[in-house]
Structures are given as structure tokens and as C-alpha cells.
Amino acid sequence: MTTDRLTQAREKLKRLGKISLGFYPTPFHKLERISEEFGINLWIKREDFSGASLFGGNKIRKLEYLLKEARDQGCDTVFTYGATQSNHVMQTCTAARRCGMRPVLYLGAIVEPRAGDVRANLLLDRILGAEVHILPSEGRSTKETMKANAEVFARHRAQLESEGHKVYDIPIGGSTPRGAAGFAEGYVELLEQLRDKGMTMDYLYTATGSCGTLAGLTAGRILAGDAHAVVRGMIVGKKDPATYAGDVARLANETLMLAGAEPQATPADFELASYTGPGYEKPYHEANDDIRYLARTEGIFTDPVYSGKAFHGMMDQIRKGMVRPGSTVVFLHTGGATALFSEPEIVGDLSSDMAGYPQNDIKTAPPSDSF
């Protein structure tokens, strides 16, 4: 990998065009205490700080490319889909509002919102003034719920277009070749940060669900000619392992072709491990332990749906010796900490204490007459 190769990769992606929605490069810093404890060099790339609101996350990179196309097409309305507490959906709302477009959301209720107690990302969607439609999941995944309601979406889009509106449709997670290009650029940005610090990366860990982030990283790795790093995707939803790797490689290749590069991605370009626990948006006790561990060692919060499960997956592999001592490891924090304020069915036992830590009792201070 050379500086020239990074420049060439950026030039290919620049030709696709994007709108500036985030604050880049995102912060990149070392987790000193965990590094010392495990004898590695653990760094974190803070996509949770990508902006533009306090509640940023990794989807903003994708939306810069997607909403550029929407604007070029003259769209005034954006449709997107996800679970009720979807990070992608909330970030799409913020991005659409910044671009002067109206967000329309179809949300699968894996966890049923409570009347009069709207929380976390769903609350932010309401504050942003999105048009929200909640669909019963009836035991189906979000993807299955959306597939079952495809005719409903089509009729709604047709109605709006008959009224003179133009609709841009973004699938779950923004996982299209154009959306994934955002994380091809993110990989190039990470390599530039490593280069500026005189470092190389041995392992990169990320959460993967709808596969757009991992596919984009894979495409960026190929564009940049980085043959050294091992990219590991920690699966946070129920996926068929027989097809998921192929889906990631296929989307990576579509992204490479969109950027004018040779489609050469294969499942050998990344590694996968499932850390879904009981299921998507379902509490995972061991992951919750590591959410508390990261907070209590480095003061950083992750969520119980995406980044917390991915962080647990990385720590589990470090503890099992699947990371070489002395290696440089990067954890991609994909955001989503608003889920810490979501329904109890998602948060689980996060307010409990971990073995080996002192009890965290909440005590009432005695009254005081002075300030």
C-alpha cells in the first residue's frame, strides 16, 4: 500500500459524488488500559462521532453518497425501512432533513413500542418530524416484514408521485453499492490515519448486519491495495452462514464496479463470526458484560444491538488467543448508543453489576444547607 494508491482510491470514489453530511476524519485513538491488560495495541475509530447530530453513526458515510443521488434526481421525499430502533432509519431522517427532504419510515416492531413511552431512536424520528408507519413483525425478521409489505410501499410511493412528489428509496441499512462506497472511503481514511501515525493495522473489527459496512470496507481494502490487515465482521443478526459471505463479497464487487475498479472481492477477503446471542434486538448477557467493561475501563459507551455485540466478539477472540500478542487492532465503533435508552426488552440486564466489580448501589445523599 502506498500514498499513491490511497490517492487513486480516493479519486475513484470522488467521481461518484457525495454531499457533505458528516465530520471527517472521525476521531482515532488508542484504548490504553485495555491495550496494557491484553498486551496488544488496541485502537478505536469513532464513527459514533461522525455527525451531524449528537446521535451520529456509521450510516452517515453511506447517506452522503445516497442522498447526492437523490438530490441529483430531484427527489423531495426519502423512503427507508428498518426496526423501530434502527440507527440507519434515524440517521436517514437527520440526513434527509439537512437536504430539505421529507423522511417516510416503515418500521418493523420486533420490540413493540409502548404507547405514551416513545424512546431512543424512535423518539428522535418523531422529533425530526418523520412520517412513521409501524408494522407488526409477527415473529418475522425486519427483512421478512418488509418483503411481506412491499405492495404497501409501492402503492404509497405511487400515490405520492401522482401528487407531484419524487421519492428516493433506500433499503434496509442503506446497503446498496452506492451506499457501501461510503465505507470504501472510510477504509481509505483509516489507512491515511494509520500512515500519519507511522502504523500498520493487523486486525480490523466491525459489526455487520445488512452487510453494507463490511462490503464497503472490503471494497476499500481492495481499492487501497491493503493486503496486510485481517478484516473481521462480527455478525449481530440471524444470518445464513451459507449465503452471507457471498452476499458481502457480491456487494463489495458491485461497489468496486461502480467506482470503476475490477470486481475481485471474494469471501477470502474477510472473516466472519456470529455474536448475535439470542437474536437481533434481544439482550445478550455476555455482550452486556463487555459493554460495561468498556465503559468502566475507557469511559466509552456502546449499544446492546450492534457495536456492543461486535465489541464483545472482538474481546472474546482476544481472550481466546485469536489475536497475536503485540498486534495492532482497530475496533470500528459504528455508533448506536441511543439504544441504551430503548425498551427494557432491548437493554436487558445492563443496569446489573458484573462479577469482580463492586456493587453499584444508588444511594441518596443526606440533605445539605450549603452549596
Q: What is the pLDDT of residue 318?
A: 98
Q: To which residue does cell 502504523 refer? A: 199
Catalytic residue among 50, 86, 175, 342: 86
CA angle 72–95–252, rounded 5-degree value: 70
Q: Quote the pLDDT of residue 353.
A: 74
Q: Where are the domains of the chain?
A: 3-56+177-347, 59-174
Per-residue model confidence (pLDDT) at position 360: 61
What pLDDT shows up at residue 371? 39
Same fold across 3-56+177-347 and 59-174 = yes
First-to-final CA distance of the chain: 59
CB within 8 A of 216, min separation 6: which ones?
61, 62, 179, 180, 181, 182, 183, 184, 185, 186, 187, 252, 255
Max Cα–Cα distance, the chain, nearest Å = 72
pLDDT at 363: 58
- Shortest CA distance to 287 belongs to which of 298, 271, 275, 274? 275
pLDDT 10s per residue in the chain (371 long)?
678 999 999 999 999 999 999 999 999 999 999 999 999 999 999 999 998 888 989 999 999 999 999 999 999 999 999 999 999 999 999 999 999 999 999 999 988 888 888 999 999 999 999 999 999 988 899 999 999 999 999 999 999 999 999 999 999 999 999 999 999 999 999 999 999 999 999 999 999 999 999 999 999 999 999 989 999 999 999 888 779 999 999 999 999 999 999 999 999 999 999 999 999 999 899 999 999 999 999 999 999 999 999 999 999 999 999 999 999 999 999 999 999 999 999 999 998 876 666 566 555 555 555 43
* CATH tag, 3-56+177-347: 3.40.50.1100
The answer to whether 265 touches 238, Cβ cutoff 8 Å, is no
Burial of 232 (0-12, 13-18, 19+ CB in 10 A): buried
Question: pTM value?
Answer: 0.94
CA-wise closest residue to 88 among 273, 213, 275: 213
Tell me what pLDDT residue 12 has.
97
Counted residue by residue, the chain has a size of: 371
Residue 349 one-letter amino acid: D
Distance between CA atoms of 239 and 267, rounded to whole angstroms?
15
Locate 130 and state its grid cell. Answer: 418523520
| Amino acid 1: pLDDT | 62
The C-alpha atoms of residue 228 and residue 76 are separated, in whole angstroms, by: 43
Write down the pLDDT at residue 147.
Answer: 95
Q: Assign domain 59-174 to a CATH class.
A: alpha beta
Q: Is 352 a residue of the active site?
A: no
* Closest among 89, 119, 88 to 104, alpha carbons compared: 89
